Amino acid sequence: MYSHQLLFRASHAALLLVLCLQLGTNTAEENTRQLMIMDLQMPQTTAADKEVTAKLRVETELRECMVIKTYLVSNTEIEGPFNYKYTGCLCNDYPRTFYWDFQVNSTVVVAAVVDIVRQLNICPNDEAVMPIKANRFTMWRTLFVP
């Protein structure tokens, strides 16, 4: 009988330990902040030689600011404003939105690229961070021309 009581007590201790570990794991997952959140909006189809607008919204959940450079690339060469590169300061309380207007004659795959760079005099007080690993983020869209 005494041995059964020890087993019963040990199982309560084991259950309590598992519960504490589970609560600790859930809290750790909640504290994970996303470095880069991107939303690229543009039409899926367009007519040849019609102007298209690509809108890229970028935000971060980090507490620190960072200097970003954003631009578009494609599988075919596109002239004009498509080639504009923007540099700005990205902070968690100040998401940024960038626009490009361009024309295409055929179906094209477009990538919005955001690089985190080292550059002075962009963020206030030059207090921008640079991530150790990931410093380039890409989002792809296909624009079909029938």
Query: How does pLDDT run across 105-146, given as a tens digit for each residue?
Result: 999 999 999 999 998 889 887 778 877 778 999 999 999 999
Distance in angstroms (rounded) separating the CA atoms of residues 3 and 146: 79
Distance in angstroms (rounded) separating the CA atoms of residues 10 and 3: 11
Reported confidence tier of residue 1, pLDDT bands at 50, 70, 90:
low
Whether the full predicted model's pTM is greater than 0.85, yes or no, is no
3-state secondary structure of 21: helix
Query: How does pLDDT run across 51-75, given as a tens digit for each residue?
Result: 999 999 999 999 889 999 999 999 9
Distance in angstroms (rounded) separating the CA atoms of residues 9 and 104: 73
Reported confidence tier of residue 9, pLDDT bands at 50, 70, 90:
low
Return the half-sphere exposure (C-beta side, CA atoms, 13 A cut-off) of residue 130.
7
Domain spans of the chain, in order of start: 1-32, 37-143
pLDDT at 26 over 80: no
Of the candidate CATH numbers 3.40.50.740, 3.40.1710.10, 3.30.1050.10, 2.60.40.10, the domain formed by 37-143 belongs to: 2.60.40.10
What residue type is assigned to position 138 of the chain? T
